[in-house]
Amino acid sequence: MILQRINPTVDQMKKIVTCCLAIVVCAGFEEKAFAADFSEGQFRARMGKGLAYSTQDKDFKVSLSGVLQADGIWLNTNGALVPTNSGIRRGRLMFGMQLYRDWDVRATYDFTADPLDERGFQNLYLRYSGIHRTRVYLGNMQEPIGLDWLTSSRTTLFMERAQMTVLIPPLHLGIAGNTQRRNWAAFAGLFGEQLHDGVDVKNGWGVSGRVVYTPIQTRQNILHVGLSGSHREPAENARSFISSSKTFNVENARFSSIGLMQNFSEILSTELAVRHGPMSMQFEYLRTFTDKQQALEVAEFDSWYIQAGWVVTGEKRPYNRTTRTFDGVKPNSRLGLNGGTGAWEVGVRYSELSPVGQRQFGNKESNLTLGINWYPTDYMRVMANYIRVRSDLDFSRSPSLQNEHANIFAMRFQVQF
């Protein structure tokens, strides 16, 4: 079924909520799994893990899984600053295929893309892992910049990423690689434009890299320090990177009046994360630099955020040593099993974004976000966020916004299948 963005009525949202709650309750009582052995391989079907088939020698594997996120904004006190948009936030299918252990193909398509064309592809790459502790990627992928940007939308602490992600380039065609040891990892890549732009010598290009050092890695404690950088040469016909678009993109920060911005010259980003048992803290700072010979309207920006989370029921956020990001919470007791209530998590984040030396665009925009997450099972999540937005930024060339603010309450129901 093709999923499209919708603007449902109250009755429609009630139906969405009712259906999601029914799935949560039913799924919590029994996790369905199916496995069948054949003479030449094994087929598995498991809720949250999707469908998978592998040969007996493990040289060939194929998998299909998905995720559905249904959002509802129940309160928004300023529709001019932040548009109200409820419905299907993400509806993605993920396909994977492994060939002779060392070669992998990955493809993710989001059916909320508008229009439904190649813009719907997220990850679409070929990966080679035959070199010890090293992987090489070719295709459409994220550039290795920042911790929050590289954390999967399925496992982020809040419904939307921090404001600084609007300063990071979207998924681009390119070739990249990473290598790692226990306490460090390095990522680097050469990238062109977006998938729908194709490959052309007139397109823009850039290089990006990320280095992460984790001096402390124990079952209880994680200390993570990272540095990212990027340099980009814009296309010959590049447009101004300042956008006043207030519609949310597949990977844009919804609760921000600033549209997705590109055509920077350089990016520098630092990251720090600490996890102690069920408690975690994360901080990032990002600065963009532009070519001074570009148009006068091109501004430089800086942005930062700090967030903290606590899994009240005692579980920990796992640390992914491959991507050097944090994965989602796995409840110790699923809903309905032996009186289990799932896992509960609370979080708070403050973020800012402001132009540097270009006060004609305003001063800054800040967001304060409070969140509660409920994980009834490994593959389901219910999120509730309150967001306080304050902004005097305006890039539309209309009269400047002065001390605009919004109060937003939103919820998300997520299921992985």
In this structure, which amino acid lies at residue 147?
A: L
Nearest C-alpha neighbor of 400 from the set 389, 409, 391:
391
Average pLDDT on 162-176 reads: 91
293: amino acid identity, one letter: Q
List pLDDT tens digits, range 150-167: 999 999 999 999 989 888
Residue of 14, 6, 18, 21 whose CA lies nearest to 415 = 21
406 band by pLDDT with thresholds 50, 70 and 90: confident
What the chain holds in terms of domains, given with CATH numbers, is 73-85+131-416 (2.40.160.10)
CA distances from 337 to 202, 353, 375 (A): 59, 45, 14
- pLDDT at site 240: 45
* Contact partners, residue 274, CB within 8 Å, separation at least 6: 221, 222, 223, 224, 280, 281, 282
Q: What is the pLDDT of residues 221-231, one digit of tens each?
A: 999 999 999 99
Is 140 a residue whose pLDDT tops 50? yes
- In the chain, the amino acid numbered 130 is G
pLDDT of residue 357: 73
Which among 174, 228, 243, 177 is positioned nearest to 204, based on CA atoms? 174
Q: Which of 19-28, 66-75, 180-189 has the lowest mean pLDDT?
A: 19-28
Contact by Cβ (8 Å): 216, 223: yes
Q: Are strands 380-391 and 121-131 parallel, antiparallel or unpaired?
A: unpaired
Task: With a cut of 90, say whether residue 401 has pLDDT above it.
Answer: no
Q: Mean pLDDT score of the chain, rounded to an integer?
A: 82
Residue in the block written with tokens 């993570």: 224
Per-residue pLDDT band at 252 (split at 50, 70, 90): very low
3-state percent helix, strand, coil for the chain, nearest multiple of 5: 10, 50, 40
C-alpha distances in angstroms, 376 versus 15, 198, 308? 20, 42, 22
Cα atoms in the 13 Å half-sphere on the side-chain side of 81: 24
Closest CA to 34 of 43, 23, 45: 45
What is the DSSP track for 257-318? SSPP----SEEEEEEEEEEETTEEEEEEEEEEE--TTS-TT--EEEEEEEEEEEETTS--PP
User: According to the per-residue pLDDT averaged within each range, which of 21-25, 129-133, 287-291 is highest?
Assistant: 129-133
CA distance 173 to 170: 10
Pick 240 or 40 by higher pLDDT: 40
**H-helix or E-strand spanning residue 20:** helix 10-29
Alpha carbons 192 and 405: distance in angstroms, whole number: 37
For residues 410 and 75, what is the distance between their CA atoms, to the nearest angstrom?
Answer: 7
What gap in Å lies between CA 79 and CA 6, rounded to an integer?
17
Q: What is the pLDDT of residue 194?
A: 86
- Residues constituting the chain: 417
Confidence at residue 169, expressed as pLDDT on a 0 to 100 scale: 87
Residue 18's pLDDT band (boundaries 50, 70, 90)? very low
Tell me the pLDDT tens digit for each residue of 340-377.
889 999 999 999 998 887 666 667 889 999 999 999 99
Instruction: Tell me the mean pLDDT in the region 75-101.
Output: 85
Residue carrying the six token digits 């079924």: 1
Q: Is residue 316 exposed (0-12), middle (13-18) or buried (19+ Cβ within 10 Å)?
A: buried
Q: Which helix (H) or strand (E) holds 28?
A: helix 10-29
pLDDT at 15: 44
Tokens encoding 269 = 């980003």
Q: Which sign, positive or negative, has the C-alpha torsion 236, 241, 242, 246?
A: positive
Amino acid (1-letter code) at residue 229 = G
Q: What is the pLDDT of residue 358?
A: 64
Work out the average pLDDT over 254-278.
Answer: 81
Torsion of CA 44, 49, 52, 56, to 10 degrees: -70
From the list 17, 22, 39, 144, the residue with the least C-alpha distance to 86 is 17
Q: Sorting pLDDT into bands at 50, 70 and 90, what band is 2?
A: very low
Distance of CA 119 to the CA centre of its chain: 16
pLDDT digits (tens, 9 = 90+) for 288-333: 998 766 544 567 889 999 999 999 999 999 999 999 999 999 999 8
Sign of the dihedral defined by the CA atoms of residues 342, 149, 347, 86, in that order = negative
At 44 the pLDDT is 84
Q: What is the DSSP letter of 14?
A: H
What value does the mean pLDDT take over residues 389-395?
77
In 77-157, beta strands by DSSP E: 87-99, 103-110, 121-131, 134-141
pLDDT of amino acid 41: 74
